[in-house]
Structure 1
Amino acid sequence: MSVVKKFLNLFKSGAEEGEEARLRAQKERTENLLKALTDGDLDARWAAVRSVGDLGEAFIEPLIRGLQDDYWIIRRGSADTLGKIGAPAVTPLIAALAEPSDDVRQETIRALQLIGEPSVSPLVQAAKNPHPLIRRGAVQALGLMGEERAVPVLVEAMKDTDAGVRYEAAVAFGRINDPRCIPHLIESLNDVQERVRTAVMATLCSLGIPAIDPLIRALIAQNEDVGRRASLALVTIGEPAIDPLIAALADQNPGIRRGAIEALGQIGNTRAIPKIIECLEDDIRPVRIEAVRALAALGVPAIAPLMQVFREGDNRIRSGAMEALWMLGQPATTPLIMVLKDEQSDVRKRAALLLGEIGDQKAVDHLTGLLSDDNVAVRKEAFEALEMIKTRTAQ
């Protein structure tokens, strides 16, 4: 045998022995890590969790068990390592969503988020799983990942028999921020579970401008609770909703006009006052009543424009202005006192009437001066107003 051949044989033998030694060492390491993950103390488990990310699928099941560890650090480390292992861990992780413990489920979802794209399609399928906890976890994970491809399955999840799934779907829509969900969220404003309704409201508010017009249309929903919650959502959106709500005051549907007035009154922006005052002339009584309430809710800034129509408006708008001023109460006293000397006897009479209804002692001397008014109707109204204030003071 030549020297070269002998050398090659020796090299081959050495290489085989080296490979065998490497495999033995790897096997020993694997066994030690598996033992540490299963039976080790906290330090040993933590060291093992951090070390097995490059060893692959053999450690998926022990790491899944690690998600249920008593110690948070082991649960978090197991999730991070499963995230590094990637796609092979997706199916076991989805199965682990059935675990009822929130701590375990949160770390399971974290691992799926870390895996990313390879987990999307399996999670979409898992959103239809027979087990409600798996559906719930899948929907939550898709929302946290901001996965727009999940929108169709989230729409279905809004109708799920499990309230937890519906809740997570509503939250997920808020994270994905896709306007396609708005009609489905509005339908769910009447969900039987309060926490689902709360999540739906929060998401609609977070969507902001795209949700405003659909919410305005929802003010006339057949279900009164839906209309009420739509109004509350518009009030919560606040400033961006003001101009669309003002525009809705001209809508042909009186229910929308009424709902828009109510929302504007609760938002409290004075920019709406002139248009709401115009609604005091609306042909529909409930709209006029809502306008009065809204103006009273808007407070002192509404007094000056109300006083203008109180003096100059026709009978219908004047009547509404009077009622709003009465509801405003004492802040309206001084402006009303100022018109007790108005040239129009009808204005003086109506001012006296309102001052009597408000009952503010500050008006007594001024009303007393009206007892010598040239107009008998004014004198009569001033006397009755003084008697009303006297009675209230005595009471």
Structure 2
Amino acid sequence: MSLYQHARDGNVERLRDALGSDSAAVRKRAVEFLGELGDVDEQATIDGLLRAATTDDDPEVRGAAVDALDEIGEAALEQLLAELTGTSGSEAEWVTARKFARALQADRPELRMAAARALGRLDDASGLQHLVKALSDEDPRVRLRACEACGTFADPRAVPGLTERLDDEPRVKRAAANALGSIGTDGALAPLLDLLGDSDESIRRIAAGALGKANNPEPVEPLARALGDESAVVRNAAVYSIIELLSNVPTQHSHAVRDRVVSELKAADDDTVVEPLVEILTEGQQSRQRRNAAWILGRIAEPQSALAVEALADALADDDPQTAQFAATSLKSLGGPVVEDRLLDRVGTEHPEDARAKAVFVLGQIGGQESLNRLESFTDDDSTAVRKRVFSAVSKLRAGGP
């Protein structure tokens, strides 16, 4: 039976047996599964991982065992550190942090890896300076864990050291890029601009996803260029970041950024931009991002884009009044028969009153004879808001337009 099957069945005993395999690949996979399935109260599993972390002949297995102990929980990882450093686990955090910092100087790279992991978990800022030094460790596995730990601190003091790691091997480079994105200051994000052209898709995605945190308009054009990336995940991340930029940039830059965003997005492939914008509008959790998505769709989508029009029409009933208003304004900007058809479907009494009133308003601006005929049937509507909009819309349509 395969290791995967044992893992799916939750058979940790068989997985522990595999730690004695002659194959390093099997031992490494068993270690990874034990990290996913192990429990902090399952001492037999922890003991097996402790042996793998300290005595296995293969460095990849030892490194995976350190990560597995960390995945099981802080208490499991601390057993490894306690065994190798003499830490009791009952001291104040600053005392523990000092011992872990000393462990970063240990001869065994696995101990240095574990110390970096543990320092990242501790809520003690004194550990950061030691982690920054560990970014230059001779072992790439230690550098990798140090990058990850610096990301948990999200402290700008780590930026110079992390930036140097952007020339490291791929795994370390990815971890450094992620950490810089977690720090999120303009100084931390600036080095990521060049990574949008990296040959590694995952690096480009990390950079594109992080640059939306910037508080200046500099990333707009590089992100717009990323809309032409061969990778769909990179393109999607770029659109999300562009929307986030609109939410984050200071007021004094907002108008210029909006103009640049619209210009760049219009030049991009329509499907590349519209689909993620619709996803943000329909599934986003932040009102500011949904508002921006609604606003942009009205300026870059094609009037015949059923996907965009449907999402905007649905947004007329959004719980956020400003998102609903931006959706109405965008539908008015788009106009055309597709918009008219979708809005006529939303004027019935089965829809919320505010959404119906907005639909009627837009129809008064862009509708034709069909809209006029339909709206005339609502002149006696029970809703005062809808009746008011109907009278105004019918008057405009009878007069031949707004």
What interval of TM-score do these two structures reach, taking the shorter chain for normalisation? 0.3 to 0.5
TM-score, with structure 1 as normaliser = 0.46
Say which structure is richer in helix.
Answer: 1
Rg larger in 1 or in 2? 1
